Amino acid sequence: MVKIFLNGCCGKMGRAIAAMCKKNDEFKVVAGCDVVSSDELGFPVFTNPTECDVEFDAIIDFSNAKAVPMITNYAVTMGKPFVCCTTALPDETVAEILEASKKIPVFKSANMSYGMNVLFELVRQATRALFPGTDIEIVEAHHNRKLDAPSGTALMIADVISEETDNALEYVYERHSKMEARGKNELGISSIRGGNIIGEHEVMFISDEEIVKISHSAQTRDVFGKGALTAAAFLVGKDPGYYSMQDIVSAAFN
């Protein structure tokens, strides 16, 4: 059993992970940390991680950008594996996480869904097979409360394509201001916002004769929690280093 210290345990994803662990004998949240304490989760919650007096195997972080430096330092101090799921981090925080990976195993992926990371690999292979004979377009859809557009995951997909095309494509986010035909060097990225869409991404490889589509749709936010738990189990016993979901996915493809 992997014993988890859960940072950001009172947030939506924190509560989702706590609920998942109650139904899974392979994981147990033994302690958590959040800005306010709570007695309803079934494990002790601390407002400062250094107050924790419970033994654990790995840290999972689903908090916010401001909280990440503190939990990163705590992970290094404790010498524990660290799974960072918080996104939209400033460059200096990313640098701190990279520095921490020299001392402890660190797992960081902008998207914690195993299925989405399988999509990244499928897109990589499709790009090799179909470019430059096709136009490539990415369409992503999320709930109406999401602030950023395009999504970070859509940009990750675009970066995978860019790597495979030797950076030959220009990211184009909107075309309403351009009264001209689509250029062959364009990579179109479109965003949809509405309702309670958890996350949908589709990549289209379009030629004159056919269209190849690769898509992923998250049905529940639990998919990200499941990925975080998978990452925690993966890190236990690993040497210091910087790991991502691609390390897990690549083993399946190999």
Catalytic positions, written as ranges: 142, 146
* Torsion angles phi and psi, residue 229, rounded to 5: -65, -40
Burial class (CB in 10 A: 0-12, 13-18, 19+), 128: exposed
- Provide CB contacts within 8 A for 138, sequence distance 6+: 150, 154, 157, 158, 187, 188, 189, 190, 201, 202, 203, 204
DSSP code string of 197-254:
---EEEEEEE-SS-EEEEEEE-S-THHHHHHHHHHHHHHTTPPSEEE-HHHHHHHHH-
CA distances from 38 to 20, 47, 181 (A): 18, 10, 57
